Chains A and B, each alone.
Chain A
Amino acid sequence: MSADPIYTEMIIEYSRNPSNFGKIENPHIHRHDSNPLCGDSIDLYVNVDGNKITEVKFDGKGCAICMACTSVLTEMIKGKNLEEVKNFKKDDLLSELGLGHLIKTSPVRIKCALLSLKALKYGIYSYFVDKMNDVEAAGKLKEEAASLY
């Protein structure tokens, strides 16, 4: 059977040994999200110092794509400024795992790949509204999160 464009070594490895898997007690940002049709379900926890993301963890259940993408996302955003993360695009995440093709080839599985990014954007949105009172930035984030898939 030919090499699989989805189930690469990297995806399998991440799904079996996810990065930053666990929980943060009383995090600054917490967001739960799920894909009701396939049953992926994750909780994303983020701690922030000023404008900088200092700690990220996630837990939950999901398919290999969801677990791998969430792992990579947590690795990518740790230590970054909220401003940078706010502008994070879906291609930034998908290309990291070689999954850019999913946008065209698999409208179903793209939801697995982008669930964590959606949770992150919504999480930061709430943070902007509740903690930083930056309604304009928040509004844009919410729009982006809603249009991810």
Chain B
Amino acid sequence: MQSTTYSLDSIRSDFPVLERKVRDNKPLVYLDNAATAQKPIQVIDAITDYYKNHNSNIHRAVHALAEESTEAFEATRGKVAKFLNVANTKEIIFVKGTTEAINLVAYAWGRDNVQKGDIVVTTEYEHHSNIVPWQLLTQETGAELKYIDIDENGELMLEQLDEYLATGKVKLVAVSHVSNVLGTITDVKEVIKKCKNADAKILIDGAQAVPHMKVDIGNLGCDFYAFSAHKMLGPTGVGVLWARKELLEKMRPFLGGGDMIREVHKYETTWNDLPYKFEAGTPNVADVICFTAAIDYLTKIGMDNVRNHEIELTKYALEKMSKVKGIVIYGPKDPKKQGGVISFNFKDVHPHDVATIVDKNGVAIRSGHHCAQVLMDKLEVAATNRASFYIYTTKQEVDALIDSLEHVAKVFKL
């Protein structure tokens, strides 16, 4: 049973950077969590401790430090598996981020399983990392790339998926669990059910989901799931690909090199067991090991509590933001249907001007296309502003955002 009290003060005191003053001594209001999350002292200390006391390469030497590092590295694998309710830890593959995880699938699975005439399906609200690998794959193989469109609420029009699946040609559906721009939560259970019925594989980009809500891969029923550590309090340079053992066993390796081999001869090589077959070269040992501290931190708070906190903040922010003069908010505008992400624009004011003005008040939001140019085209904008929340975000910080946005409206005489 998770605790029902959510101690915002005590959480905030664990994040040294939140004490920063920026831009003429304004307290930092960090609302760019969809890009990357800040790190608690527990994670920062773990990194220092690793390099001070344990640093060693893993999986090879027999000396004490190597043993400690190997053990800690594999312990994180176990921790990730438990966090996501994955029974077989060999299905957890460490990569450098969500992007690499998706590319791994596109190369190692895609090139042997997608052919001319086949269809790969993605959606209009994907990040470039869940579009470009599929463009490369379909262009190379002669397969077709199809998009599930979004409706005016920023939700997927799943009836289009039915049409695509009905052709019997769909080999893979690649969809994000939560949109990084609109915050829309995909009905992944429904998507997975449809894919299973049509015998299509399903990949879920969980970069914006795993940090913010309980994700139970063991019960989801998808085939591939990818996410990054740095958006969930962990270090940069660590990502996870989860895939079914049956698929991983049949897949060819992605990168060749050390650690992924069993035996190397002049002209042939046999592969190492899972998961090492997909982890060529020295991995990001230190950061993988310290990722444990981030998972522990989130587990202690409880993912349901994280989600509830963000629902409350999003509700509060949507109510207040919708009253700012000249503002246009994109996406579901329903805290139950979206993550703690709100994208918006001011009528004909460029998002970079908005971000620069609010930055003067210490408020960090993101402006740009958010690596989602297909979505920008759909919304008929060049860019949007995005505020995104996390476990340490307070209502006072949302108020600071609103004050700054009102100032924008004033400056531009909206």
Contacts and interface: CB of A to CB of B under 8 A. Distances in A.
A39 B381 CA distance: 10
Contacts of A16: 412
B146 to A, nearest CB: 27
A45 B219 CA distance: 60
A57 to B, nearest CB: 20
Contacts of B411: 4, 7, 12
A64 B353 contact: yes
A64 B368 contact: no
Interface string A68-97: 000000000000000000000000000000
Given A1-B407, A39-B383, A61-B382, A7 B353 contact: yes
Interface in B327-352: 349-352
B352 A63 contact: yes
B352 A109 contact: yes
B104 to A, nearest CB: 26
A41 B382 contact: yes
A64 B412 CA distance: 10
Interface of B: 349-353, 356-357, 360-361, 367-369, 382-383, 407, 411-413
Contacts of A61: 350, 382
Interface in A93-149: 106, 109, 112
Interface string A30-72: 0000000111110000000000000000000111111000000
A15 B361 CA distance: 22
A24 interface: no
A12 B411 CA distance: 8
A6 interface: yes
Contacts of B383: 38-39
Interface residues of A, number: 21
10 contacts: A1-B360, A4-B357, A4-B360, A6-B356, A37-B368, A38-B367, A39-B382, A63-B353, A109-B352, A112-B352
Contact of A62 (B350, B369, B413): B350
A42 B368 CA distance: 17
Given A7-B353, A7-B357, A12 B368 contact: no
B408 to A, nearest CB: 9
Contacts of A12: 411-413
Nearest to A7: B411
Nearest to B367: A38
Nearest to B412: A12
Contacts of A1: 360-361, 407
Closest A-B pairs by Cβ, 6 of them:
A63-B350, A39-B382, A63-B352, A64-B353, A39-B383, A38-B352
A63 B351 CA distance: 7
Contacts of B368: 37-39
B358 to A, nearest CB: 11
Contacts of A6: 356
Contact of A65 (B353, B367, B382): B353
Given A38-B383, A65-B352, 7 more contacts: A1-B360, A7-B353, A12-B413, A37-B368, A40-B352, A41-B382, A63-B350
A68 B350 CA distance: 12
Contacts of B413: 12
A99 to B, nearest CB: 12
Contacts of A15: 353
A12 B356 CA distance: 14
Nearest to A111: B352
A1 B357 CA distance: 11
Contacts of A4: 357, 360, 411
A16 B326 CA distance: 15
A38 B356 CA distance: 12
B370 to A, nearest CB: 11
A38 B385 CA distance: 11
Contact of A64 (B349, B367, B369): B349
B360 A64 contact: no
A4 B24 CA distance: 13
A65 B413 CA distance: 16
A66 B351 CA distance: 12
Given A12-B412, A37-B368, A64 B407 contact: no
A93 B357 CA distance: 22
Nearest to A5: B360
Given A1-B407, A12-B413, A37-B368, A64 B350 contact: yes
A7 B412 CA distance: 9
Contacts of A62: 350
